[in-house]
Structure 1
Amino acid sequence: MIQRDMIALLLEQGRFDVIQCEDAETAALAVKMRHPTLLVTDVKLTGKMNGIELAQLALDCDPRVRVLVISGLPPPSDLPDGVKFFAKPVYPPALLRELTP
């Protein structure tokens, strides 16, 4: 939760409109309704889907969405094309580098 709050603050300072979701189903609904330009998700989520499935759903809704997947474990081999992986802990400079065009 602390890491999520830190990432949200960093994105807000970068002028992103941030939506934080407590579980996978809420995040999936937000993706479908709000059409984000960026999705940051953990591999492990509360709910019926994991972060990889959420990433794929976001890409299915809009192939242009940028997706960053975070995990404390090694990257899964089944990351969708174009998805970037970050190992925990995520440090602000590394995240900022990824977000700047």
Structure 2
Amino acid sequence: MKELRCVSKITRPTVLIVEDEPMIRELLTLYLEEWGAMVTAVATADVGNEALTKQDWTLLITDVQTPGLLNGVDLAWMASQQKPKTRIIVMSGYFEFAGRVLPPGARFLPKPWPITQLQELLCTQLNHAGGG
């Protein structure tokens, strides 16, 4: 198992992935598990909101558009209010969502993303995890 070298203070981050595209969800899950993260992956922001309440999360990675009542931006705001120490990455392939206001500390990742950009953002967010 390859440890995430850019993270010094978190040995086993807990990551909640909310992504309705099965291929992207699986890719992110495998990638983060290879780094040593404990990953829970769900297909909608509605299910993601339920998962938010069940434990503390180091990182939330959410797509903006998922089926259901909530979208990823809604979920990001809920996470920032319910779990303020959780770091947040919001992804979208739709330009109109790029300008939406995200919670403080949340980062936007436009799709499609190169793996190097994903890794850099993961390192940034995980290095700041637990800091509030």
Q: TM-score, normalised by structure 1?
A: 0.91
Q: Displacement, 1:22?
A: 2.1
Count residues in correspondence: 101
Q: Which residue of 1 aligns with 2:119?
A: 96
Output one character per residue of 1:42-86: Cα deviation in whole Å (capped at 9) or x when no partner. 000111100000001111112121100000023133212211001
RMSD of equivalent CA atoms: 1.2
Q: Which has the larger radius of gyration?
A: 2
Distance 1:21 1:77 in 2: 23
| Displaced runs of 4 or more, over 3 A | none
Distance 1:15 1:76 in 2: 32
Distance 2:67 2:45 in 1: 6
Instruction: Give, as a single letter, the amino acid of the residue that structure 2 aligns with 1:98.
Output: L
Distance 1:26 1:62 in 2: 16
Q: Displacement, 1:97?
A: 1.2
Q: Is 1:43 aligned to residue 54 of structure 2?
A: no
- Whichever structure has more strand as a proportion of its residues is 2
* The 10-residue stretch of structure 1 (91-100 or 53-62) with the greater mean CA deviation from structure 2: 91-100
Q: TM-score, normalised by structure 2?
A: 0.71
Q: Is 1:67 aligned to residue 67 of structure 2?
A: no
Whether the aligned pair in 2 keeps the contact of 1:43 and 1:71 (CA below 8 Å) is: yes
Taking the TM superposition and a 5 Å limit, the aligned residue runs for 1:6-85 are 6-74=27-95, 75-85=98-108
**Aligned partner of residue 70 in structure 2, secondary structure:** coil
Distance 1:8 1:29 in 2: 19
**Aligned partner of residue 20 in structure 1, secondary structure:** strand
Instruction: Give, as a single letter, the amino acid of the residue that structure 1 aligns with 2:73.
Output: I
Whether the aligned pair in 2 keeps the contact of 1:71 and 1:88 (CA below 8 Å) is: yes
Distance 1:53 1:84 in 2: 14
Output one character per residue of 1:11-65: Cα deviation in whole Å (capped at 9) or x when no partner. 1111111101122221101111122110000000111100000001111112121
Share of identical aligned residues, percent?
32
